[in-house]
Amino acid sequence: MIDYGAKFEAGLGYHEFLAKYGTEEQRRRWESVHEKVSLTAPQRELLASFRRDMKVLCLAGAWCGDCVNQCPIFDHFAIISHRIHVRYFDRDAHPDLGQVLAICGGARVPAVLFLSEDSHQVGFYGDRTLAKYRKMVADEFGPACPTGLVPEGSALLDAVTQDWLDEFERIQLILRTSARLRKMHGD
């Protein structure tokens, strides 16, 4: 069993992860997406309202297209909310995390493990969001009928950002309503 608290401490920040594991071209691709992520005022307000610290372990690969298109979103969340602490782990350098965060039997990335401030597991999410899967299925199989559910272009990044924000908010609400944490914080 993995000691998630110790593992979290061994993780890297966003820029450190890219410096260590990314090539110059990979870093350029991540930065390009990072520049395109745009949070709305209500999204920023929501993130700023978080009251519980959350540790986020992100299993990723600098080479991975899904990571390129999603992990910069997490950095934006952490910039806005001082309650979000994200650490990145290279999938190939951390096969132990790849095993426990396996999706559909594989070490797929990005995979995110959410922990409480005292390192209890709270939730797990990855490798793609609902908006991304809808787009993939529509591209692969074509829509059975037009639904308007599949965003195009920059709207896809906005939809994926919202999907991830919904998950971060869900975890925050779990932390906020936890009887154990409420007792610990006296609220």
Q: Render pLDDT for 75-131 as a digit per residue (tens, 0 to 9).
A: 999 999 999 999 999 999 999 999 999 999 998 999 999 999 999 999 999 999 999
What is the count of structural domains for the chain? 1
Residue 149 pLDDT exceeds 50: no
Phi, psi at 35, each rounded to 5° = -65, -25
**Structure token digits, residue 139:** 């591209």
Q: What's the pLDDT score for residue 143?
A: 59
Residue 176: CATH number of its domain: 3.40.30.10
Pairing mode, strands 84-90 and 54-60: parallel
Q: Write the CB contacts of 135 (distance below 8 Å, at least 6 apart in sequence).
A: 150, 151, 156
Q: What's the pLDDT score for residue 144?
A: 53
Residue 55 pLDDT exceeds 50: yes
Percent of the chain with pLDDT strictly greater than 90: 87
Give pLDDT tens digits for 59-68.
999 999 999 9
Question: Alpha helices of the chain — where are they, by DSSP H?
Answer: 4-10, 14-21, 24-36, 41-48, 65-68, 71-80, 95-100, 130-141, 154-177, 179-185
Quote the distance between the C-alpha of residue 131 and its chain's center: 14
Q: Which residue range(s) make up the domain with 130? A: 4-185
Residue 22 pLDDT exceeds 60: yes
Residue 7 pLDDT exceeds 70: yes
Residue 54 pLDDT exceeds 50: yes
> The whole model's pTM is what?
0.92
